[in-house]
Amino acid sequence: MRRSHDTPPRRRPSPAGALGRLGALGALSALGALSAPSLYSGALAPLSALAAPAGDERRPQTSPKRAPPPKRASSPAKRAALAAPELQEAPALTAAQVAEEWRELLSGPAPQAALQGLQARWALRDLKTGEVYAAAGAEEVAHPASNTKLATTAVAYELLGPDYRYHTRLWFAPLGAMGRAGEELPAAGAPPALDGALYWEASGDPKLTRARLRDAARALKAAGLRRVRALVISDHRFTQTPLPPGYEDRPEDDAAYRAAAGGVGYDFNRLRVQVRPGAVGAPPLVSFSPPLPRFFEVENAAKTIGEGEETLTVTTSESARGGVRVRLAGALPSLRGGVALKGLTVARRAPNPLRFSGEALLWALRGAGVEVGDGVEVSRGALPPEGERRLLHTVTSAPLRDLLRDINVYSNNFMAEQTLLTLGLERGGFGGWEEGLAAARAHLRGALGLRGFKYSNGSGLFGETALSARHITDLLIQMHARSGGRFVELLPRSAAEGTLRARLRRLPRGAARAKTGTLDAVSTLCGHLTPRAGAPLVFCVLMSWREGDAAAARRAQDAALERAWRLTR
């Protein structure tokens, strides 16, 4: 079974229970004080009294904090001075020496002993000329894990364009437009005091975060919306099959990194279950983010213990009302080594994106001072005719170049799959999986000239995707030329940000800009490298094995790039 995390190895999770399951979206993390602790214990407690969160919770999954750019080094001597001292003093290596070092580091006795059944394939090439300096099995296809996102973002960059934006439109219509006796649409120039139905026209925006939805709610209030009697989401241009192809490989896995996709997606279609120890012998205390009172039901069979092993399990499923039923079992210790534990947060997939996103908008509207009755339901439906609706607000995304960078820097599976659906919508007329795959495959074969590959979803999570080191380095070389050197800016900088922030720290910061990939028994690393002297390089390393620790593969990859950094020609 394959799993994709792509989380930098900054910490070692505990071996058992919920604390031992760490997903790509920060599935588990230590809690400080819980904001607005709407806490629940006992069996099957409906969450009917959740309060709004205290304080500002604007924490998008893609961090707004950018690491400062690496220092510019205009000469080989200056570049070398930014490396670790032992690398500064290390002698230069010829291409033949680098090739031999790569064979030893990536498939020699040491990695073979650490990774049973190891298969390693790689290519190291000149960015401008394509000359090969080191290669093994470079033409053999293998699962690239999240390096699939290089293909997805490359196709989107070219077919949609770096300035493409998503426009999510929010419309008002009186209840009469829904087939009920009632009001006429107020005149455009009349003082607004709107009381009726709200329509959400889905765009497939992959980054509709809490902050952006909260801003939208305030804008709706400013546009005159005073009371919402119904919320209708129009997503007919998008698939109603929420899980991408290949995700059925793990049907039981409800982790947040396997988020459902479609026309709407709030906060990457993930929810957070926050769990704190209760009294010893009593169930743990549970709260949720976002705190949606009508969306969650809890079945809490877990117990709080004193000192002891943490065996807590948290699973989610769709409830009969289209919300989420959360089940807790096992034990949560209140102490570890005599120190009180504050709790943990488990991130899970929202099983019904339409209901989840709609309830989140209603919650944001209440916070903005718009009246939303308890009986307001979220439903799927068509927009009223043009003359019977008024546009109140348009939520406009960041330019696509920024969204694609987030996909690669943070290895965001949800955003990658949303991008695939967007390709289907814009190139095939419908935001479906087959339409998106057809558009991507055609561009990879036609414009980029790749042959003999398999591309089964946008993220590289599960599925039968197969690419070679030659495919990926060809793609990097071509995209560098076709984008005027801009495509490399969509990749994370080594030792600085995203999934590379804890990698290649002995090299000058930002010497590599590369995409990581991780599945069960798969580790990949592909991208660009600026060596100590000479022209820039592109590389791709694809490693798989039967048994072993992915950390050993990452160490081998980093060591290989340190040798390539010393290449002189």
Which range of 83-87, 198-202, 530-534 scores highest in mean pLDDT? It is 198-202
* Whether residues 489 and 533 fall in one domain: yes
Q: Is 347 left (phi over 0), alpha (psi -120 to 50) or beta?
A: beta
List the single range of 8-12, 120-124, 565-569 with lowest mean pLDDT: 8-12
Q: Establish if 477 belongs to a structural domain.
A: yes
In total, the chain counts a number of residues equal to 569
Does pLDDT of 53 surpass 80?
A: no
- Quote the CA–CA distance of 457 and 477 in Å, as a whole number: 23
Domain hosting 503: range is: 93-144+467-569
Which range of 25-29, 76-80, 314-318 scores highest in mean pLDDT? It is 314-318
Environment class of 91 (CB within 10 Å of its CB; exposed 0-12, middle 13-18, buried 19+): exposed
List the single range of 240-249, 378-387, 416-425, 470-479 with lowest mean pLDDT: 240-249
| Distance in Å from the first CA to the final CA of the chain | 43
Residue 498: which residues within 8 A CB-CB, separation 6 or more?
8, 408, 409, 410, 411, 492
Does pLDDT of 33 surpass 60?
A: no
Does pLDDT of 56 surpass 80?
A: no
* Nearest in space to 200 (alpha carbons), one of 353, 355, 358: 358
* Whether residues 123 and 217 fall in one domain: no
* Whether residues 376 and 409 fall in one domain: no
Model pLDDT, residue 22:
31
Does pLDDT of 38 surpass 50?
A: no
For residues 448 and 154, is the Cβ–Cβ distance under 8 A? yes
- Quote the CA–CA distance of 316 and 271 in Å, as a whole number: 10
Q: Establish if 55 belongs to a structural domain.
A: no
Q: Establish if 501 belongs to a structural domain.
A: yes
- Quote the CA–CA distance of 282 and 83 in Å, as a whole number: 54
* Whether residues 232 and 363 fall in one domain: yes
Residue 168: which residues within 8 A CB-CB, separation 6 or more?
200, 201, 202, 203, 205, 208, 216, 394, 395, 396, 397
Q: Establish if 67 belongs to a structural domain.
A: no
Does pLDDT of 485 surpass 60?
A: yes
Model pLDDT, residue 57:
25
Q: Who wins on pLDDT, 522 or 258? A: 522
Q: pLDDT for 352-376, tens place per residue? A: 999 999 999 999 999 999 999 888 9
DSSP strand E in 235-377: where? 270-276, 285-289, 296-300, 303-305, 313-318, 324-329, 331-333, 335-336, 339-340, 344-349, 371-372
For residues 53 and 285, is the Cβ–Cβ distance under 8 A? no
Does pLDDT of 47 surpass 70?
A: no
For residues 320 and 346, is the Cβ–Cβ distance under 8 A? no
Q: Establish if 38 belongs to a structural domain.
A: no
What is the rounded average pLDDT of the residues 498-526?
97
Model pLDDT, residue 185:
54
What percentage of the chain reaches a pLDDT higher than 70?
83
Helix (H) or strand (E) holding 554: helix 550-565
List the single range of 65-79, 200-214, 531-545 with lowest mean pLDDT: 65-79
* Whether residues 562 and 473 fall in one domain: yes
Counted domains in the chain: 3
Model pLDDT, residue 396:
98
* Whether residues 132 and 230 fall in one domain: no
Does pLDDT of 388 surpass 90?
A: yes
Does pLDDT of 265 surpass 90?
A: yes
* Whether residues 415 and 562 fall in one domain: no
For residues 211 and 239, is the Cβ–Cβ distance under 8 A? no
Q: Who wins on pLDDT, 190 or 170? A: 170
* Whether residues 501 and 537 fall in one domain: yes
Mean pLDDT of the chain: 86
* Whether residues 427 and 439 fall in one domain: yes
Model pLDDT, residue 320:
84
Q: The domain spanning residue 391 has which CATH number?
A: 3.50.80.20
Q: Establish if 410 belongs to a structural domain.
A: yes
Does pLDDT of 44 surpass 80?
A: no
Does pLDDT of 433 surpass 90?
A: yes
Q: Establish if 221 belongs to a structural domain.
A: yes
* Whether residues 471 and 560 fall in one domain: yes
* Whether residues 479 and 565 fall in one domain: yes
DSSP 8-class letter at 266: B
* Whether residues 135 and 175 fall in one domain: no
Q: Establish if 152 belongs to a structural domain.
A: yes
CA torsion angle 187 193 198 203 (round to 10): 70
Environment class of 175 (CB within 10 Å of its CB; exposed 0-12, middle 13-18, buried 19+): middle
Angle at 344 between CA 341 and CA 346, to 5 degrees: 165
Model pLDDT, residue 202:
98
- Quote the CA–CA distance of 195 and 556 in Å, as a whole number: 63
Residue 353: which residues within 8 A CB-CB, separation 6 or more?
242, 260, 261, 262, 264, 265, 266, 269
Model pLDDT, residue 83:
81
